[in-house]
Structure 1
Amino acid sequence: MSERGPLRLGVLISGSGSNLQAIIDAIEGGTLDAVVAVVISSRSDAFGLERARNHGIEAVWVDREMFDDAAGYNAALRDELQAHSVDYVVMAGYMRLLGKAVLDAYPLRVLNLHPALLPSFPGAHGIADAFAYGVKVTGITVHFADEVFDRGPIIAQRAVEIAETDTIESLEAKIHDAEHQLYPAVIQLIAQERVKVDGRVVCIAQS
């Protein structure tokens, strides 16, 4: 924990929010020095909104259809995050590309989780693409987000082996288990101010 208190997170979701739940569990379990200040969803029916409310966290749906363009939508996201004094933005299954308004407000403070070992298998179907290609090892990547999907500097990765007996469903389960461990751990490194960035190279300082 820094001298100014726990890291304040704004978590962006589009679906079930299982990684949000992993973050909440780590906070409540005492292994993550952070608070979830707000959860923002791109969909009104995202189960992650209910997860947040079950833990007393403010949960907001920002409807893209209410805005004339993506710039207006992203400005609304930025304003909501800033209204909750968010330190870091955590994309947890958020299925939209963040725009300039948010990225400029939070330079190198927007995190994303991708279910493959970037730069391999970018895009929305990383698990299925790796499985179909026949690789023997895939994994997960936590990286800083920028204006291009899955391109920002890589903070941490974890390998996941694909067994000959794996199905796409069993591989998805293995990937999600790894995500739920690694994402809170990386956020804790940030809370401890151990993550240092030099261009595309990210280093983790020893504790």
Structure 2
Amino acid sequence: MTIPGGELFDNRDGEGRLRVGVLISGSGTNLQALIDACERHEINATVAVVVSNKHDAFGLERARKAGIPAVFVDRTAYTTISAYNHAIAEALDDHAVELVVMAGYMRLLGQEVLHAFPGRVMNLHPALLPAFPGASGIKEAFDYGAKVTGVTVHFADEHFDRGPVIAQEVVRIAEDDTVATLEAKIHAVEHGLIVEAVGLFADGRLEIDGRKVRVLPER
């Protein structure tokens, strides 16, 4: 399965850039890395909308400051999780999103979104999957005594942290590291890796082959 990219999309912005929707739950530092890379034209993409399940997520303020639509979808406003996920899918579709990026979005994404964007949802995880999945990957790697951990960007599916891996980068755990210093090292790597992965998608250079994601040569 070749992931669509480049000229295959017909709803890009006026400059032909990939329209990205970013899902967040917190401060949005990875969102900011994407916004900055798009504004500097480091990648052929633009952040079209930011959606959060938290009304006070600082990432929403980052979006507003950059002139990007910021949408809060309140889980308590919906009687079912299906209706909630459908509302998220609608918010993304309303802004003609072509790629969805989960950047610190702390909920399992429902099939309503995954089916609306097949092969077009990325997740960022602060560990080298399949090791240390879940929300506490950094602390678990540290507590386990691992010598290395890292960052993974993968295509999302209906399971937590299980989809095909797009890119990974190793972070070494030093003898004098604390959880806090390790978190800082991980976050610094996250910022670069998510930008790289979105850039590859925007250029049409990703191909899914079963569990593998192949990076195609530059066109």
Give the Cα–Cα distance (whole angstroms) in 1 for the partners of residues 111 and 214 of structure 2.
26
In structure 2, the residue matched to 1:131 is 142
Deviations 1:125-168, CA, capped at 9 Å, x for gaps: 00000000001010000000111100000011000000001111
- Residue 52, structure 1, aligned to residue 56, structure 2: no
In structure 2, the residue matched to 1:166 is 177
* Aligned-residue offset at 1:170: 0.6
In structure 1, the residue matched to 2:6 is 2
Structure 2's unaligned 5+ residue stretches are 11-15
Give the one of 91, 100, 111 matched to 1:100: 111
Give the one of 197, 200, 214 matched to 1:186: 197
Deviations 1:100-124, CA, capped at 9 Å, x for gaps: 1101011110000000000000001
| AA at the equivalent of 2:168 | Q
SS of the equivalent of 2:37 reads helix
State the identity as a percent: 60
* Aligned-residue offset at 1:88: 0.6
* Aligned-residue offset at 1:36: 0.8
In structure 2, the residue matched to 1:43 is 54
Which of structure 1's runs of 4+ aligned residues deviate more than 6 A?
none
SS of the equivalent of 1:75 reads helix
Structure 1's unaligned 5+ residue stretches are none
Give the Cα–Cα distance (whole angstroms) in 1 for the partners of residues 182 and 106 of structure 2.
21
Say which is worse superposed, 132-141 or 2-11, in terms of deviation. Answer: 2-11
Q: Map of 1:103-114 to 2, 5 A cutoff?
A: 103-114=114-125
Give the one of 66, 72, 85 matched to 2:83: 72
* Aligned-residue offset at 1:2: 2.3
Deviations 1:54-83, CA, capped at 9 Å, x for gaps: 000000100000000100000101111111
RMSD, matched Cα: 0.9
Could you tell me the TM-score, scaled by structure 1's length? 0.98
* Aligned-residue offset at 1:28: 1.1
Give the one of 8, 20, 45 matched to 2:31: 20
Instruction: Count residues with an aligned counterpart.
Output: 207
SS of the equivalent of 1:80 reads helix
Q: Map of 1:144-163 to 2, 5 A cutoff?
A: 144-163=155-174
| AA at the equivalent of 2:30 | N
| AA at the equivalent of 1:152 | G
| AA at the equivalent of 1:135 | A
| AA at the equivalent of 1:68 | T
* Aligned-residue offset at 1:206: 1.5
SS of the equivalent of 2:104 reads coil
SS of the equivalent of 2:6 reads coil
